[in-house]
Amino acid sequence: MDSVIANLGLSGWKPIFAALLLPPFPLLLLMVVGARLMVSRRHWRSGWVVMLSVLLLMWASCCIGVGHFLERALLHVPPPLTESQMAPLRREPQARQTAVVVLGGGRERVAPEYGESHLAPRSMQRLHYGLWLARKLNAPVMFSGGSGHAQVDGPAEADIAARIAARDFGRPLRWAENLSRDTRGNAAASLGLLKTDGISTVVLVTHGWHMRRAQRAFQEAAQQHGMSIQVVSAPMGLAAAEVRPVLRWLPTQEGFTQVQLVLRETLGFWLGA
């Protein structure tokens, strides 16, 4: 499906399609249907059923507990990279053929407090972990990300990440892939650069909820490039929300964000994005 959208020249519309398919938009449409049925003498009972169903679904879509359940059921988030898994990556000659690849997750075109462009929180978290992991592995780092389809024109994420990594962390990036606009673009462009440097192992850094789709994109891109490459998952952002048990089942902004992320990633995986 993703290739069909791309062939039709509609890649830039993907964020709009996602907004129309994910909560709360479908529930708002269902609410309109329920309201219309309620004013009908023949169908007012059905209208009440629809409205109550919308209420329950809206409640559930804002609960952290529901988000955690859906994440476990739908995304199959891998566990964090362990010391025993890192050890072989540090040995020669494997070490010289290993690269840490960090996927972008958004940028702030202008961050007023800095007076310049900056990475969005998710991208910053990924960069931080990627640099930490690269230090443990003694491996070079790539940051992959241009300007996403949902973003207006501006500096590429990878260029911002290169500046932050060198200036604020004192660890320059080896590669800054700044043309891709989505996960499949990340994979294709990143492997195109790594192929020329003889990299055979990619330690892939992104959030746990994004890893399943990202790993598939890299594996399929490797086949297209004719590369024999190992993709090692290095998920981050795995800490559970620290809230009282009762708050897990009450509507919160954090709950809504998590549910929407899980549903978006599931939809993207099913559609081949």
Mean pLDDT across 142-152: 83
pLDDT tens across 151-205, in order?
A: 667 899 999 999 999 999 999 999 999 999 999 999 999 999 998 898 999 999 9
Angstrom distance (rounded) from CA 100 to CA 105: 16
**Would you state the structure tokens that stand for residue 95, as one six-digit string?**
């070490």
pLDDT for res 2: 57
Q: According to CATH, where is 3.40.50.620 located in the chain?
A: 83-235
Strands (E), the chain: 98-103, 107-111, 116-119, 141-144, 175-177, 201-207, 230-236
pLDDT tens across 59-105, in order?
A: 999 999 999 999 999 999 999 999 999 999 998 787 789 999 999 99
Q: What fold characterizes domain 83-235? A: Rossmann fold (3.40.50)
pLDDT band of residue 46 (cuts 50, 70, 90) is: very high
